[in-house]
């Protein structure tokens, strides 16, 4: 684990503690020295076979960020769509949507590796003509076996010595459908004894009689990642091809292909440490299982670290980008504390989310001496620090909802909320004292009867007596009923990836709790996706899929720091 990615106390990030970005430093140096052969160009190259996750956000922020280091720098969005079996336009669209949502703009620079299939094919024929590629008609398994491994050099088969003419004819036969799947592949002729196993005559093309979401049935041979990637970079004029560390062992092959094609001033591959987050899985394969096996409600389930999921959860794009900047870019893989992401989310929402009142687990309060039918409007600030966000009025009446957690039967001294005979302030409205507790047959509290202090308008006692606690409330006759989806982390284990027998064993069975609560009536007019702070509860967002004015659905984005929980833990 690198020093950069080591866990820190997320509540105390210091500006001078910012980890660096070695790629940006390198590019800045090259720019300063005038060392670039052409204008600075990066690319973000997703494979359209799944939804983007927060790891991809790191790559997006890095690539688009690098492009801004130079006045004429650019970043391409390129779909690496070389495997028709797993790819679809659904994913192409969701990826574009997510990149745009993060706030990055590729302008006209939208490309597809499949646009280069003709050029890649022509280049493959060139390598065959040079004696640098050949068709192998053995099964992929036989080829793998003959390739050897770290301890055993590869063994050449007879096809390695076929003439370029024979190979050309066979390759064209492959292209024209003369072979079935698995009957032939094109391989680069490099070095079967190389210590770098990737260089032992790697596959360039394989046969797949599968239509492609963009090229239809035009092709039945498809380029392998290694053959497509560097060449696509070269076609576009990419200067820096940034990828994650698992591609270190593809690096020599990346360079070999470009050299074999005699590409002048070839692009350069640079590897960085990918993002891993505690309490989170990011691999597409695992995300797929969570979705397909029904552990979550789809790719945009608010518990997933997909960008679609985080968005639906209420995470602001700005917070995600700020997080990516804060964690830096290093040459090592590491695990970042999810608390750091949550910190950025709270920071942003604290500054930008208007305040509202809501009740997650309602408990009825009746103010015995408050006139029936009387309603007053209480004016409250939308933000305690930002007067520009204005005020709103909230109706107050005889019957109220308060939070069940704000009541305790036998409270200790440090408890400043409601208890038998105790006084509490209803935020901005009045002071009330609990005079009677109504219970059901099992002793469960059904309702509190309280005495309202008519002299305590605005919540301040006329006689100057101190009331320490302030709780939130809603008028029961006016409040809007609301489904509250209370999310916790999807995994209970800090490192679900290491769980036995697999990551599913680390699932948190309590990652979603649904309650029937209430919110201020004004939220009926709020747009889907609107984010608010429900005072004393946390940040919430109106669910973009399911919330309707007549049936509000709120997702809890993240809780506030709960002061009482800290005290209770010490008691
Ligand atoms: P996964 O490993 O999650 O299945 P992937 O690498 O197969 O993802 P791609 O669509 O190929 O997904 O990724 C597009 C780009 O995003 C690549 O350059 C890849 O290196 C980068 N990327 C993927 N995961 C991460 C991560 N966790 N941190 C940083 N960059 C990542
Ligand atoms: Mg990949």
Ligand 1: residue of 5, 56, 233 to mutate (most ligand atoms within 8 A of CB) is 56
User: Does the CB atom of residue 244 touch ligand 1 within 6 A?
Assistant: yes
User: Does the CB atom of residue 533 touch ligand 1 within 6 A?
Assistant: no
* CA–CA dist 309, 174 (Å, integer): 42
User: Does the CB atom of residue 47 touch ligand 1 within 6 A?
Assistant: yes
- The string of pLDDT tens digits covering residues 530-556 is 999 999 999 999 999 999 999 999 999
Residue nearest to atom 4 of ligand 1 (CA): 284
The fraction of the chain above a pLDDT of 90, given in percent, is: 93
pLDDT at 526: 96
116 Cβ contact partners less than 8 Å away, ≥ 6 residues apart: 228, 231, 232, 235
Strand 512-519 relative to strand 480-487, pairing: antiparallel
- The string of pLDDT tens digits covering residues 32-73 is 999 999 999 999 999 999 999 999 999 999 999 999 999 999
* CA–CA dist 63, 122 (Å, integer): 29
Which residue in this structure is represented by tokens 């983007």? 52
The region, left, alpha or beta by phi > 0 then psi within -120 to 50, assigned to residue 197 is alpha
Report how far ligand 1's centroid is from the alpha carbon of 54 (Å): 10
Ligand 1: residue of 43, 55, 245, 310 to mutate (most ligand atoms within 8 A of CB) is 55
Domain map of the chain by residue range? 22-111+226-347, 118-224, 355-479
User: Does the CB atom of residue 274 touch ligand 1 within 6 A?
Assistant: yes
Report how far ligand 2's centroid is from the alpha carbon of 47 (Å): 6
Least confident of 101-105, 451-455, 567-571: 567-571
User: Does the CB atom of residue 49 touch ligand 1 within 6 A?
Assistant: no
Paired with 63 in beta bridges are none
Question: Cα angle vertex 268, ends 266, 270, to 5°?
Answer: 170
Domain 355-479 has CATH 2.40.240.10: yes
User: Does the CB atom of residue 55 touch ligand 1 within 6 A?
Assistant: yes
In this model, does residue 442 exceed pLDDT 50?
yes
- Give me the architecture of the 118-224 domain, per CATH: Alpha-Beta Complex (3.90)
Least confident of 7-11, 382-386, 533-537: 7-11
pTM over 0.75: yes
Number of helices and strands in the chain (H, E): 13, 27
Residue nearest to atom 2 of ligand 1 (CA): 283
Which residue in this structure is represented by tokens 């506030």? 560
Report how far ligand 2's centroid is from the alpha carbon of 310 (Å): 21
Distance set, CA 252 to CA 57, 118, 154, 231 (Å) = 27, 24, 18, 14
- DSSP for 128-184, written as a single string: HHTTSEEEE-S-HHHHHHHH--SSS-----GGGG--HHHHHHHHHHHHTT-S-TTS-
Helix (H), strand (E) at residue 310: helix 307-313
Q: What's the half-sphere exposure (Cβ side, CA atoms, 13 Å) at 192? A: 16
- The string of pLDDT tens digits covering residues 519-530 is 999 999 999 999
Tokens of 96: 């574009």
In this model, does residue 509 exceed pLDDT 90?
yes
Q: 22-111+226-347, which class in CATH?
A: alpha beta
Helix spans in 333-489 (H) = 338-352
- The string of pLDDT tens digits covering residues 335-380 is 999 999 999 999 999 999 999 999 999 999 999 999 999 999 999 9
pLDDT at 19: 85
pLDDT at 136: 97
Residue nearest to atom 18 of ligand 1 (CA): 243
Q: Share the mean pLDDT of the chain.
A: 94
């Amino acid at each position: 684990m690198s020093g950069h990615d080591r866990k820190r106390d997320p509540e105390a990030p210091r500006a001078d503690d910012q980890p660096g970005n070695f790629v940006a430093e390198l590019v800045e140096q090259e720019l300063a020295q005038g060392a670039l052969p052409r204008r600075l160009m990066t690319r973000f190259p997703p494979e359209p076979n799944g939804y983007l996750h927060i790891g991809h956000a790191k790559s997006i922020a890095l690539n688009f960020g690098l492009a801004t280091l130079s006045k004429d720098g650019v970043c391409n969005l390129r779909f690496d769509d070389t495997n028709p079996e797993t790819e679809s336009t659904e994913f192409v669209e969701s990826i574009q949507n997510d990149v745009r949502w993060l706030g990055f703009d590729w302008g006209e620079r939208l490309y597809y590796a499949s646009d280069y299939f003709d050029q890649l094919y022509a280049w493959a024929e060139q390598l065959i003509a040079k004696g640098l590629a050949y068709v192998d008609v053995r099964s992929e398994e036989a080829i793998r076996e003959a390739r050897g491994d770290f301890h055993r050099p590869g063994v050449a088969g007879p096809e390695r010595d076929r003439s370029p003419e024979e190979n050309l004819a066979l390759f064209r036969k492959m292209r024209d459908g003369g072979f079935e799947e698995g009957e032939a592949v094109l391989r680069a002729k490099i070095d079967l004894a190389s210590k770098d196993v990737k260089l032992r005559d790697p596959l360039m093309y394989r046969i797949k009689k599968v239509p492609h979401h963009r090229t239809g049935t035009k092709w039945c041979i498809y380029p392998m990642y290694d053959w497509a990637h560097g060449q696509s970079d070269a076609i576009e004029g990419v200067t820096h091809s940034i990828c994650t560390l698992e591609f270190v062992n593809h690096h020599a092959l990346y360079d070999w292909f470009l050299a074999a094609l005699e590409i002048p001033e070839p692009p350069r591959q640079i590897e960085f440490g990918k993002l891993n987050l505690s309490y989170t899985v990011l691999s597409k394969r695992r995300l797929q299982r969570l979705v397909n096996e029904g552990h979550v409600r789809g790719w945009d389930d608010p518990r997933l670290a997909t960008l679609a999921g985080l968005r639906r959860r209420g995470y602001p794009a700005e917070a995600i980008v700020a997080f990516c900047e804060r964690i830096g870019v290093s040459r090592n893989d590491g695990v970042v504390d999810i608390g750091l992401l949550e910190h950025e989310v709270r920071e942003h929402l604290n500054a930008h989310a208007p305040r509202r009142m809501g009740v997650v687990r309602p408990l009825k309060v009746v103010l015995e001496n408050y006139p029936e039918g009387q309603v007053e409007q209480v004016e409250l600030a939308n933000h305690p620090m930002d007067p520009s966000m204005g005020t709103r009025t909230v109706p107050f009446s005889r019957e109220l909802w308060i939070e069940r957690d704000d009541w305790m039967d036998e409270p200790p001294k440090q408890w400043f909320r409601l208890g038998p005979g105790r006084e509490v302030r209803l935020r901005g409205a009045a002071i009330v004292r609990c005079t009677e507790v109504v219970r059901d047959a099992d002793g469960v509290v059904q309702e509190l009867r309280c005495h309202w202090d008519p002299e305590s308008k605005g919540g301040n006692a006329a006689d100057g007596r101190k009331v320490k606690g302030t709780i939130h409330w809603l008028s029961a006759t006016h409040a809007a009923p609301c489904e509250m989806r209370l999310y916790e982390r999807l995994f209970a284990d800090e490192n679900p990836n290491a769980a036995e027998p697999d990551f599913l064993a680390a699932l948190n069975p309590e990652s979603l709790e649904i309650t029937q609560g209430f919110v201020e009536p004004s939220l009926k007019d709020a747009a889907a996706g609107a984010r608010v702070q429900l005072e004393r509860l946390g940040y919430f967002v109106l669910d973009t899929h399911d919330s309707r004015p007549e049936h509000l659905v709120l997702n809890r984005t993240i809780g506030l720091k709960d002061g009482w929980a800290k005290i209770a833990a010490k008691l």
